Amino acid sequence: MILVNRETKILIQGITGRSGLQVVGELAKYGMNVVSGVTPGKGGQEVEGIPVFNSVNVAITEKGKVDVAMVYVPPLMAKDAALEAIDSEIPLVHIFVEKIPILDVSKVLTCANKKKVRVLGPASVGAISPGEGKIGSIGGPDPDKVFSKGRIGVISKSGGMTSELSMLLSNAGMGQSTAIGIGGDLLLGTNFSSLLLDFEKDNETKAVVAFGEVGGSAEIEAAKLLSDGMFTKPFVIFLAGRFAENLPKDTSLGHAGAIVGLDFSMDDKIKMLKSSGALVVDNFEDIPKVLKKLIR
C-alpha cells in the first residue's frame, strides 16, 4: 500500500465548510485519526470533537505534527490554504478543491517542489488503502461497498472512475492495495508516473490498473517509465474520450485537463502505451479478465 495507512494523521483545512464537515464524519467512520482542523476566524470551535484552529501553524503547535493536510476550502482561497500547509512542511498536501485557477496551482506546486512537499491533486478525490486507511472523500460514507483489500493498484484522474474501476475489480474477487484519484486538472502534483514508482516499490502491489483520458501527457509519462524499465509490474490501462477527437482543437471537457489536441492525441497515447508494454484494454468491463491472465 502507498500514500495512506492505518497510522496516517490528518489535518483538515476548511473543516467547518460544507464539504469539510461531510468528510470529517466519513474519515472518523473509517477509523482515521483526524488530529486537528483549520478555518481562519473559527479557532476555538470544535467539529465532531476535533479542535479547530485559526492557522495550520497554531494547529501543529497545539496538537502536534500530521502526515497529511487536506484542503477543503473554496477555489479562490485554495492557493493560500495550500501554501500554509506547504510552509509548515506537512509531507503530503491533498487538494480536494476543484476549479482552482491554473496560475494558483502552478504557484502551489512550485513552492511544494522547493519544500519537498508532495501534493495530491488539485481536484483529487483522495486515496484509499482498503481496510487500512483513507484520505479525502474517496469511497464517501461507505467505502466497503466498492473497495476491498487486495493487491491491485488503481489510478485515475477521475474520482468516480477510481471507484467504478475498484468496484469492477472487487466484484471479480480482486482487491486493491491502494486506489488513488489524482485529479482532473491540467497541472497536477502527483501524476501517474510518480505513483507507478511508488507501486513498483510496494511489495503488496502485484499489478496496476489505470483509467486514462483524452488530453494531457499523464499516460505518455507512464509509458516512458515502462519503456525505461522503471516500472516492471503488469500495467493495464483503459482510455476514454475517443468521441472528443472529432471536436475542434482546444475544446475542454468535464475535467479541466481534458483538452482536445493538448500534448498528445488518443492514437499517440495508444501507440506509445502499447509499445511500452502496457496492456491497453478496449472494453472497460474486460479489465478483470485481462488482469487475471497477467497475474496468474
According to CB under 8 A, which residues from 232 to 271 bind other proteins? 240-244, 246-258, 262-263
Q: Output the smallest distance, CB 277 to other proteins, in A.
A: 21
Q: Contact between 285 and other proteins (CB under 8 A)?
A: yes
Binding mask 131-150 for other proteins (x = CB under 8 A): ------xxxxxx--xx----
Pairing of strands 235-240, 279-281: parallel
Q: Contact between 228 and other proteins (CB under 8 A)?
A: no
Cα-Cα-Cα-Cα dihedral sign, residues 163, 165, 168, 170:
negative
Number of residues that bind other proteins (CB under 8 A): 76
Residue whose cell numbers read 495550500: 82
Q: Which of 125, 209, 210, 223 binds other proteins (CB under 8 A)?
A: 125
Query: What 3-state class would DSSP assign to 287?
Result: helix
Q: Which is nearer to other proteins, 15 or 60 (CB)?
A: 15
Q: Contact between 273 and other proteins (CB under 8 A)?
A: no
62-81 residues in contact with other proteins (CB under 8 A) are 74-76
Q: Output the smallest distance, CB 3 to other proteins, in A.
A: 16
The values of phi and psi at residue 111, to 5°, are -65, -40
* Residue 12 and residue 72 in contact, taking contact as beta carbons nearer than 8 Å: yes
Residue of 142, 178, 179 whose CA lies nearest to 158: 179
Catalytic positions: 255
End-to-end CA distance of the chain: 20
28-67 residues in contact with other proteins (CB under 8 A) are none
Q: Which of 187, 222, 272, 273 binds other proteins (CB under 8 A)?
A: 187
Q: Which residues contact 213 (CB under 8 A, 6 or more apart)?
A: 157, 158, 239, 240, 241, 255, 258
Q: Which is nearer to other proteins, 13 or 217 (CB)?
A: 217
Q: Contact between 175 and other proteins (CB under 8 A)?
A: no
